[in-house]
Structure 1
Amino acid sequence: MKADTLFKPTESELEILQILWEKGDCTVRDVHEILEVNKDAGYTTTLKLMQIMHEKGLVSRDTSSKTHIYRSLVNQQKTQQHLVNKMINNVFNGSATRLVMQALGNHKASTEEINSIKAYLEEISKK
């Protein structure tokens, strides 16, 4: 797998990766059924996307049985970290503060989320 391919999944590929990260190994049908809940996605489109992802090295495919099983080959945390760093640099001029302020301003955080953020900030300030 090429290093530059690792962090360049398309939006549709990211949706599929999210499913694979959450559910683990899946068939195309499994992924398609989950995608269909939120958007009008054709089965053949999902199949083609997953085949392309296999060619790009984003997923592996077990062909030992009639139904092929797909598994993510990219690490969720590393991918998220890379994409957030890229967004901070490209959209927020390198300011993580601006990203956090924008995110919290546009999204109603629950009390639990706010407490989690506070605890994380306290942990960071102790270091």
Structure 2
Amino acid sequence: MNQQRPKPTTAELEILSVLWEHGPATVRAIHEILSQGKETGYTTTLKILQKMADKGLVTRDESRRSHIYHAAIQAEQTQRQLIDDLVRQAFGGATEKLVMQALSLRKVTPAEIESLRKLLDQLEEKSE
């Protein structure tokens, strides 16, 4: 079954990022992390998590008094889906344009350049 899940909204991505970084958590724990530095209501976090569960983006363990939410999708899977959509929609399918824009946004460190060189070498080897 190769069914694509719905794309997460910006708010849903914030919650998924918390779950990817910290692991399964209660609404309270997720809310506390999200509300650092900004006003976010607990009920808003709860409602978003409920919608995410309905969409299949998270799973909910209801075996305890405080429900535990788990990310139902991996970070890499979500990033690939979002990048693929971005390349097709904003760059007409031209990956090179996306990479050039991304690299022009900020200063690239020598370590990042080395990592990019290794990736390009690997891609070149595969295409030969």
Equivalence for 2:16: 17
Tell me the CA shift for residue 92 of structure 1: 0.6
CA distance in 2: counterparts of 1:40 and 1:101, whole angstroms: 35
SS at 1:37 equivalent: coil
Equivalence for 2:40: 41
SS at 1:97 equivalent: helix
Q: Which has the higher helix share?
A: 1
Alignment of 1:95-110 (within 5 A): 95-110=94-109
Relative to structure 1, the CA distance from residue 3 to residue 39 in structure 2 (aligned partners, 3 Å threshold; closer, same or farther) is: farther
Identity %: 45
Equivalence for 1:65: 64
Over the aligned positions, Cα root-mean-square deviation in angstroms equals 1.6
Unaligned runs of 5+ in 2: none
SS at 2:25 equivalent: coil
Tell me the CA shift for residue 51 of structure 1: 1.0
CA distance in 1: counterparts of 2:51 and 2:119, whole angstroms: 38
CA distance in 2: counterparts of 1:48 and 1:88, whole angstroms: 31
Tell me the CA shift for residue 38 of structure 1: 4.5
Alignment of 1:64-103 (within 5 A): 64-103=63-102
How high is the TM-score relative to the length of structure 1?
Answer: 0.90
**What whole-Å deviation, never above 9, does each CA across 1:29-78 have from its counterpart, x for those lacking one?**
11112111243211111111001111111111111111110001112222
CA distance in 1: counterparts of 2:60 and 2:101, whole angstroms: 39
Relative to structure 1, the CA distance from residue 36 to residue 66 in structure 2 (aligned partners, 3 Å threshold; closer, same or farther) is: same
Unaligned runs of 5+ in 1: none
How high is the TM-score relative to the length of structure 2?
Answer: 0.89
- Counting matched residue pairs gives 125
CA distance in 2: counterparts of 1:7 and 1:112, whole angstroms: 34
Matched letter for residue 111 of structure 2: E
